[in-house]
Structure 1
Amino acid sequence: MRVLITGGAGFIGSNIAKQLERSYPNAKVYVLDDFSSGHFKNLIGFRGEVITGNISDPSLWEWLAQNYQFDVVFHKAAITDTTIMDQALMMKTNADSFRHLLKCAVKWKAKVIYASSAGVYGNVEPPMREEGPQEPENVYGFSKLIMDRIALNFLEEHKDIKLIGFRYFNVYGEGESYKGKTASMVYQLYKKIASGEKARLFKWGEQRRDFVYIKDVIKANMLALEKDVSGIFNIATGESRSFNEIVDILSIELNTKPEVEYFDCPYDFYQQHTQADISKAREVLGYTPDFSLEDGIRDYIKVLRA
């Protein structure tokens, strides 16, 4: 099996690369990344090859199509900073690049497993369902929604190729530290509390998210690799928790009582409440999360302390 992972030096991509090498030791795994937000340290221990390139460059895909053959593509490369407002850049990088990849997938006859986002839903009433309303609040969410539409149109035309999209909710876990300001609130709050600083939250910390641990996300990707299915799926826990609850859990695990500073949210596109309906992923993929927020944070802290 020959596997390409775009964005393979990033948070989710690097975890997939390492899991593939553990689960499929005879597979040939290649990482593609431009290292704009990914980091080489995420690939320490990875034994495969690394290709440096920008997914929005059509000539890169032409070169890959001519020189490589892949059986599976995990497409995780994207602009993931939701505060970037350059609409053309976001659409070119996230949506248009997907078209280049799918053209190669037809040539390779490769299964494609790509990253969409809960950002496609915006502030619709939870729980969010794959076939329900989709009203993105920013161009990032819109770019992912267009990716999903490209995927659905592709599936109508290429029924012989398997294509799976994952609408990730709020992922946290090992490998995200190099994302900087876009790392999860779990990571950001841990760093503040562990160093004795104030925990800082938008007023009044009751915004709710469906937080999903990286190990559950990798589990979903491995299921998609193994299953002979296509479609778009929510990947989450199916439960929403507040930012205040993260502070409470970290306080217990770190045995401290941090001071919390609340401040005004500077964004007018902020999602107030996300919660996934994961019944489709459960029924079609056999996906069920193994980690509650408490369990995930507890496991993550071991890694952060190490």
Structure 2
Amino acid sequence: MKYNDINFNKKTILITGGAGFIGSNLAFYFQENYPNSKVVVLDCFRSGEIFSNGNLKSFGHFKNLLGFKGIVISGDINDKKLLKELENNYKFDYIFHQAAISDTTVGEQDLMIKTNVNAYEDLLKIAIKHNANMIYASSAATYGDSNRFEVGYELPNNAYGFSKVMMDNITASYLKKDLDISIVGLKYFNVYGPKEFFKNKTASMVVQFAHQILKGLTPKLFEGSDKILRDFIYIDDIIQANIKACNPKKSGIYNVGTSKARSFEDIVNILQKELKIENGKEYIQNPFVGSYQFFTQANIEKTREYLDYEPNFSLEEGIKAYIPEIKRLFKEEVK
């Protein structure tokens, strides 16, 4: 499905974090809809390196790109030499910047800021030199403990959320300049869908609960999960927002969600209905109180106005669309 009237054929497109969840979905969107586009995927593919919290430093996985016919470059966005080579060897028309340290429990604040903030500005300078429109991943984590989910009311409660606020601040400063490109930051809310599996423990609770259920286990929910509400958004709607952000009515920073807050309890109920397995529920203490968002709900009025964005998937519809892939993963990767 094409989301706007731009013809991306014969365009050169850079996708950072292109072996990750959202980046790989974008890569295949262009390959399937615009086979004559030139797609360059840059990713710091996974190695054995881990953060102090024990999680992998990179979730990029080759399996997310099986069938991809474009250009794949393994590299780190903090590598100035690599960025200079990209600047000199290509002439990009669009840059989709998805690469980041996205694990909210990472304690290495220095590397978080270097990777998420400083490297973003380096890429933005390339976009300006190439006259390439920049679309980048911000996050609902910027809102943290805020009770107002609108740009300007951010209150991050972890280093990741802070780093995304700093990215948005850089954008705001550049938008004061007379630029020939558009810059759009997309504050993703809770994204789920195909190609997230290799994010391991940071993958959505949709796929994690589903695999617990398929294993015959009782899904474990935090106490009070019926009152922990999030704006869960299916990957296809995230891709829609990215594509529409290529030609915005106005540059800026926009929320990307459904504007509907749903509970983790809802997820388990929908999954057990779709999988036709009833394993009940088990409730456990929430160890993340203090660094955990108990409510998110995107205000998407400006996203509708300036990007012509409209979410197509309710939580029920998104999970139903996801079920075949969840079952495939369980059969091929989990069991």
Aligned ranges for residues 1-306 of structure 1 at < 5 Å?
1-35=11-45, 36-126=58-148, 128-131=149-152, 133-205=153-225, 206-227=227-248, 229-267=250-288, 268-306=290-328
Q: Partners of 1:20 and 1:229 in 2: how far apart? A: 23
Are the equivalent residues in 1 in contact too, given 2:249–2:306 (CA < 8 A)? Answer: no
Pairwise CA distance, 1:301:
0.4
| Alpha-carbon displacement from aligned partner over 1:131-176 (angstroms, at most 9, x marks no partner) | 3x11001000000000000011111124212101000000000000
Q: Partners of 2:249 and 2:96 in 1: how far apart? A: 15
Pairwise CA distance, 1:226:
3.9
| Alpha-carbon displacement from aligned partner over 1:196-250 (angstroms, at most 9, x marks no partner) | 1121122121311000000111111111124454111100000000101111111
| Alpha-carbon displacement from aligned partner over 1:47-78 (angstroms, at most 9, x marks no partner) | 10101110112222112112221110000000
Pairwise CA distance, 1:8:
0.3
Q: Partners of 2:319 and 2:151 in 1: how far apart? A: 27
Are the equivalent residues in 1 in contact too, given 2:128–2:179 (CA < 8 A)? Answer: no
Are the equivalent residues in 1 in contact too, given 2:249–2:307 (CA < 8 A)? Answer: no
Q: Report the AA paired with residue 218 of structure 1.
A: I
| Alpha-carbon displacement from aligned partner over 1:269-291 (angstroms, at most 9, x marks no partner) | 00010001111111111100100
- Aligned sequence identity (%): 50
Q: Report the AA paired with residue 251 of structure 1.
A: Q
Are the equivalent residues in 2 in contact too, given 1:165–1:231 (CA < 8 A)? Answer: yes
Aligned length: 304
Q: Partners of 1:24 and 1:155 in 2: how far apart? A: 30
Q: Report the AA paired with residue 204 of structure 1.
A: G
Which segment is superposed worse, 158-167 or 72-81? 158-167
Are the equivalent residues in 2 in contact too, given 1:234–1:277 (CA < 8 A)? Answer: yes
Secondary structure at the counterpart of residue 225 of structure 1: coil
Unaligned runs of 5+ in 2: 1-10, 46-57, 329-335
Q: Partners of 2:196 and 2:71 in 1: how far apart? A: 21
Q: Partners of 2:237 and 2:196 in 1: how far apart? A: 15
Pairwise CA distance, 1:86:
1.1
Q: Report the AA paired with residue 19 of structure 1.
A: Y
Unaligned runs of 5+ in 1: none
Q: Partners of 2:250 and 2:303 in 1: how far apart? A: 11
Q: Report the AA paired with residue 276 of structure 1.
A: A
| Alpha-carbon displacement from aligned partner over 1:2-50 (angstroms, at most 9, x marks no partner) | 0000000000000000001122221100000011211011001111010
Secondary structure at the counterpart of residue 156 of structure 1: coil
Q: Partners of 1:286 and 1:99 in 2: how far apart? A: 27
Q: Partners of 1:104 and 1:168 in 2: how far apart? A: 24
Q: Partners of 1:77 and 1:158 in 2: how far apart? A: 26
Q: Report the AA paired with residue 139 of structure 1.
A: A
Secondary structure at the counterpart of residue 73 of structure 1: strand
Judged with a 3 Å threshold, the aligned counterparts in structure 2 of structure 1 residues 70 and 228 are, in CA distance, closer, same or farther, namely farther
Which segment is superposed worse, 59-68 or 144-153? 59-68
Secondary structure at the counterpart of residue 176 of structure 2: helix
Q: Report the AA paired with residue 270 of structure 2.
A: I
Q: Report the AA paired with residue 14 of structure 2.
A: L
Q: Partners of 2:41 and 2:249 in 1: how far apart? A: 24
Question: Could you state the TM-score of these two structures normalised by the residue count of structure 1?
Answer: 0.97
Aligned to 2:50: none
Q: Partners of 2:250 and 2:154 in 1: how far apart? A: 23
Q: Partners of 1:30 and 1:110 in 2: how far apart? A: 14
Are the equivalent residues in 2 in contact too, given 1:155–1:161 (CA < 8 A)? Answer: no
Are the equivalent residues in 1 in contact too, given 2:231–2:297 (CA < 8 A)? Answer: yes
Question: Could you state the TM-score of these two structures normalised by the residue count of structure 2?
Answer: 0.88
Q: Partners of 2:159 and 2:286 in 1: how far apart? A: 18
Secondary structure at the counterpart of residue 157 of structure 1: coil
